[in-house]
Amino acid sequence: METASIKADTGKEPWDLLPVEATADVVAVLAYGAKKYAPRNWESPGFMYLRLWAAAIRHLMAWRRGETKDPESGLNHLAHAACSILFLLQYSHTGKGTDDRTSQEGT
């Protein structure tokens, strides 16, 4: 009689909830950037925050106007926007980049 395998993963992060196709689109944008500039170019010392915010908004606005793919890269505008937002989120964890927002928490 065969028994079920056991895996003690209760309470662990549910990485299986991450959307696979959308994640692959983001990775494609990261690969495009790595080839165009350098791998992890965005990471150190980092960009000005508002430059990334503006890039995300440009891609979102192009998508909103009905343009699905970025004409230069041929990749999805939403994936480009997601990369910019992920960079900002990562900077919030690492302190990299330059926070040039005009209004900051606690001020």
pLDDT digits (tens, 9 = 90+) for 70-94: 999 999 999 999 999 999 999 999 9
pLDDT of residue 106: 58
The pLDDT of residue 17 is 95
Per-residue pLDDT averaged across 31-58, rounded? Answer: 97
What six digits make up the tokens of 60?
Answer: 């979102």
Distances (CA, A) of 66 to 14, 23, 53: 33, 22, 20
Peptide bond into 71 cis (omega under 30): no
